[in-house]
């Protein structure tokens, strides 16, 4: 599966290497938002906004500032939902029309070794037993994929619920060979209509992409 195939009809994924974006390419609110960040972070935040506007244009949404809403995540213009991810100098943004989309979540991660303490934080007992049963040479990529899937699900549910979820609150059934997974809240369910979702997985250029969407 390709990254651009993670989501359903009407959605657009735009990605680009992070670059320092001139202030002239950003809205004043965005310039203020990125001003205090380190150079690498400013590059990611600025590039993500450029990608977001390109994606929004494809669904007919006019240029506007993309700044954080109260809590976590960007505030999208009326008529659109979206999700932003940036990792190791790479930015990716997905947007789609609302309705029919209620929310959407994208996460991108570089496939890399993770510390054992991170693995303990990410996985519940059932997930850890599943990972331990996989071929040793596959576990590194699968662990990063589990992390990525939970992040994508979180990004999808949070705009609807405004609820914080820890890694242990979410359980993932991963079918990496099929490019799919199921995620569900197993503790402190935020809302019945945002407590579970199906997702998709893609691997490209040493990165894993996970996408989740909820439709009306």
Q: Domain end: 100, 129, 147, which one?
A: 100
Q: What is the pTM (predicted TM-score) of this model?
A: 0.94
Based on the fold, state whether residues 46 and 70 are members of the same structural domain: yes
Q: Which of 68, 100, 132 is the last residue of a domain?
A: 100
Question: Parallel, antiparallel, or unpaired for β 170-175 and 12-17?
Answer: unpaired
Same domain, 123 and 157: yes
Domain count for the chain, please give it: 2
Handedness of CA 74, 101, 85, 138 (dihedral sign): positive
Indicate if 198 and 136 belong to the same structural domain. yes
Domain co-membership, 31 together with 122: no
Q: What is the pLDDT of residue 14?
A: 98
121 shares a domain with 83: no
What pLDDT is recorded for position 73? 80
Same domain, 144 and 166: yes
Q: What is the CATH number of the domain that holds 26?
A: 3.90.470.20
Q: What is the DSSP letter of 122?
A: H
pLDDT averaged over every residue in the chain: 93
The last residue of one of the domains, among 100, 128, 159, is: 100
Residue 118 — very low, low, confident or very high, per pLDDT cuts 50/70/90? confident
pLDDT tens digits for 38-84?
A: 999 999 999 999 999 999 999 999 989 999 876 578 999 999 999 99
Please check whether residues 79 and 112 belong to one and the same domain: no
Reported as a single tens digit per residue, the pLDDT across 136-160 is: 999 999 999 999 999 999 999 999 9
Same domain, 114 and 204: yes
> Nearest to residue 148, comparing CAs of 101, 105, 192?
105
If phi > 0 it is left, if psi is from -120 to 50 it is alpha, else beta; for residue 140 that is alpha
Q: Are residues 121 and 206 in the same domain?
A: yes
| Host domain of residue 139 | 107-215
Does residue 45 sit in the same domain as residue 130?
A: no
pLDDT of residue 163: 86
Burial 131-146 (b: 16+ CB within 10 A, else e): beeeeeeeeebbbbbb
Q: Please indicate, yes or no, whether residues 202 and 154 belong to a single structural domain of this protein.
A: yes
Q: Which of 162, 140, 165 is nearest to 150 (CA)?
A: 165
Q: What is the pLDDT of residue 188?
A: 67
Are 123 and 207 within one domain?
yes
């Amino acid at each position: 599966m390709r990254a651009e195939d993670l989501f359903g009809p009407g959605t657009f994924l735009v990605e680009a290497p992070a670059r320092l974006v001139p202030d002239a390419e950003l809205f004043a609110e965005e310039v203020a938002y990125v001003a205090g960040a380190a150079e690498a972070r400013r590059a990611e935040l600025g590039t993500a906004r450029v990608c977001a506007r390109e994606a929004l244009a494809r669904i007919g949404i006019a240029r506007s500032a993309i700044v954080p809403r109260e809590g976590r995540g960007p505030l999208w213009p009326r008529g659109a939902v979206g999700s932003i991810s940036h990792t190791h100098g790479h930015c990716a943004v997905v947007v789609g029309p609302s309705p029919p989309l209620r929310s959407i979540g994208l996460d991108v991660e570089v496939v890399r070794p993770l510390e054992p303490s991170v693995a303990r934080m990410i996985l519940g007992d059932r997930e850890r037993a599943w990972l331990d049963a996989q071929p040793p040479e596959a576990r590194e990529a699968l662990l990063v994929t589990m992390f990525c899937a939970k992040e994508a699900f979180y990004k999808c549910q949070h705009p609807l619920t405004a609820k914080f979820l820890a890694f242990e609150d979410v359980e993932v059934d991963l079918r990496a060979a099929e490019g799919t997974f199921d995620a569900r809240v197993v503790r402190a369910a935020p809302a019945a209509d945002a407590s579970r979702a199906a997702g998709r997985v893609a691997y490209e250029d040493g990165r894993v992409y996970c996408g989740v969407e909820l439709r009306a």
